[in-house]
Structure 1
Amino acid sequence: MAKRARIRYANKTDRKNPDERITHVGGVNPDGKPWKRSIEQVVKDIESAEWEFYVEENGRRVGVVWATHNGHKYIKTTADDIQPDNVLPLLAECPG
C-alpha cells in the first residue's frame, strides 16, 4: 500500500509552461518535521506507486498525479486539465 503525503508548499517559477512552473514541493511529516522533494523525485515516487500525494484546500482533498508537457514530466492535481491552475499555484512557498 502506498504511503500518503499532503503537499502544503511549492517552490514556483515565473515560467508559463506547466512543466517548468513548480520545481519543488513540501509538507510536514506526522512527527512535525518538514519534508521537501524535487518534482522529478515526486514523479518517480508516484510512478513507483510507493507514494500518493494530495493537496487540501478548504476541506477538499484532491489527488496529485504526473503528466507530460512538451516531453517533460510535471505534477498537477487530478481536478486540472492541462494547466495546473487550481490548487497547486495557491500553495505557500516552501520554507528553507
Structure 2
Amino acid sequence: MDLRVTCIKKNNSQLAHERIQFIGGVDAEGVRWKISVEEAIEGIAVGKWRFYAHVGGYPFWVVVAISSLGQKYLKTDHDGEQPVNLLSIRECPPEK
C-alpha cells in the first residue's frame, strides 16, 4: 500500500537521523494515520507499505537508510545522509 507522508512528529535529539519519531498522513479513504519510525521501517522491509512525500512540489519515495552509527532511519530517496526533506514536513496535529 502506498501512503503519502504529510506530517511528522519530532523529538529533541540533536542527531538528524534520530529526530523523527512518527510519520503520518491521510489514507485513500480519508482516515488519518500515524505510525512510529520503527513500525514504518519494518513495514517497508516486509513490503507492507511504501511511503512517499511531496516536498517543494515534487514527490520523493521514503527509504530506509543506515546511519554511520549503524542505526536505521527514514529519509527520502533525494536526501543525502540527512533526512532534510522529511524534517521539512510540518508537525502532525496533536491527538485529541
Q: Is the TM value for this pair above 0.5? A: yes
Higher strand share: 1
Paired residue type of 1:81: G
Corresponding position of 1:73: 72
Per-residue CA shift, 1:3-59, capped at 9, x if unaligned? 100000000123221331100000001221100000000000111122110001343
CA contact (8 A) 1:5 1:54 kept: yes
Q: Is the 8 A contact 2:55 2:89 kept in 1?
A: no
Moved over 6 A (4+): none
The answer as to whether partners of 2:17 and 2:83 remain within 8 angstroms in 1 is no
- 2:50 is aligned to 52
Any residues of structure 2 matched to 1:13-92 within 5 Å, and which? Answer: 13-69=11-67, 70-85=69-84, 87-92=85-90
- The runs of 5 or more residues in structure 2 that have no matched partner are none
If the length of structure 2 is used for normalisation, what is the TM-score? 0.88
> Paired residues, what number?
93
TM-score of the pair, normalised by structure 1:
0.88
Identity %: 35
Task: Give the CA RMSD over aligned residues.
Answer: 1.2
TM superposition shift of 1:92 = 1.4
Runs of 5+ unmatched residues, structure 1: none
